[in-house]
Amino acid sequence: MEHFDLLVIGGGPGGYLCAERAAQGGMTVALFEAVHMGGACLNEGCVPTKTLLNSAKLYRHARESAPFGVTSENPVLDHAAVMKRKGQVVRQLVTGVEAAMRNHNVRIIRAFAVIEGREADGFRVSAGGESYAGKRLVIAAGADSAAPPVPGLREALDSGFAVTSREALELTALPEELAVIGGGVIGLEMAYYFAMAGTRVTVIEMLPKIAGNTDPEICKVLMDDYKKRGMTFKLDCKVLEVTRSAVVYEEKGERKEAPCGLVLLSTGRRPATAGLGLETLGIAMDRAAIVTDRHMRTNVDGVYAVGDCNGRLMLAHTAYREAEVAVNHMLGVPDEMRYEVVPSVIYTDPEVASVGESLESAKAKGINAREVKVPLLFSGRYVAENRGGRGFLKLVADMDSRCVVGCHMVGSYASEMIMTAVMMVDTGLPAERLQKMVFPHPTVGEALREALFQL
């Protein structure tokens, strides 16, 4: 039996970064991954979807480039070529992760790991017919697509008439009509690509708005733009059934159908904790999620959980930071997870990004909050690069401390600009100090500086 300082179950962002950081800290590490190094993010989520969305953005710009003095006759989005490049990008990055593990002497065991319990020599894990022992254990098992109990849905998934984002990213042919169940981030990003590629897309969402907790005004801008791309939205509608040729839903008390050639299920994800043997250690659970504190510790000394399996914030960048916090705790370095400063992004065109409090959530917490809204048209670069853009940002501040507590934006470069807002929220510097920061000109980010002067 091999012995290690740390056993890591799961090779996604949280798992592989945890293994890397622990090895850098002098630990011997074994990493268990049964499917793909890089996890869902690298193989069937973040990276492949961004590859598709970039192709959709280039196609959109080619089609709408005439007002900018560039003519392109009959641009074509070649789905087969897009998918080929997606595969190349994924393979390159997976290879990079594997190389990083080798460079840090992390032992990779390509098998499903099951926790057998705890003995005198540490935690015992079995995988591929072998047993391994570790002084500490990190669970980074990720999550799977959640399937609601809708009649006919399971049969549709089994037959291939319905797919999750995993299967959608492997489609070699585009459906003429696509019905998307769920209007959250994953569903919107996938729906946007298919719509730009020529598929007629209908999004069915049970809530009265798309994009979950995203600012309602931003959601309206986003949905208006999506509609211009040919997408149809059925909001505040409950899915009743999936037949062999349609999604049946209820709208204002009426039973209606969305005929389609394919159904994309995008109703969220569920921690993939079944079958791991967590019960052998008595690990505390909140339904399928592993309960953790701000040091990523479970209720069992020496056991940590990072990434989607703890159900906190199912985002790859959250998993990265959780991994660092967990390893720092093991090494005795003071650190803790601050979920309130984790940003979120929707990578369609336009982009959406946010961090921290909204005006409503800040006031609900008793903060003397004020919100300022600045159109991105304040930026010379935004005007130069956009035609009639409706982008804007909202900055939320605590007027007692004069500190920024939240930011919400829609428009080009939002995914990159949000990091400046994250640092504003994270550092807690007052607006008067932030106003002295020099922003490069012309950049879209200058709108943030303008907002600071309006507080």
Three-state SS at 157: helix
In terms of DSSP bridges, do strands 2-9 and 130-139 run parallel, antiparallel, or are they unpaired? parallel
CB 389 within 8 A of CB 398: no
Residue of 205, 211, 207, 222 whose CA lies nearest to 258? 205
List CB contacts of 177: < 8 A, sequence separation 6 or more: 199, 200, 201, 202, 259, 260, 261, 262
d(CA 96, CA 116) in angstroms, rounded, equals 31
The Cα–Cα gap between 145 and 156 comes to 15
H-type helices in 25-78, by residue range? 39-44, 46-63
**CA max distance for the chain:** 73
State the CB neighbour count (10 A cutoff) for residue 313.
16
Closest by CA to 30, choosing from 57, 54, 51, 11, is 11
79 flagged as catalytic: no
Could you tell me which of 22, 122, 30, 29 has the C-alpha nearest to residue 333?
22
Residue 84, SS3 per DSSP: helix
How many other C-beta atoms can be found within 10 angstroms of the C-beta atom of residue 70?
10
What residues act catalytically?
Answer: 441
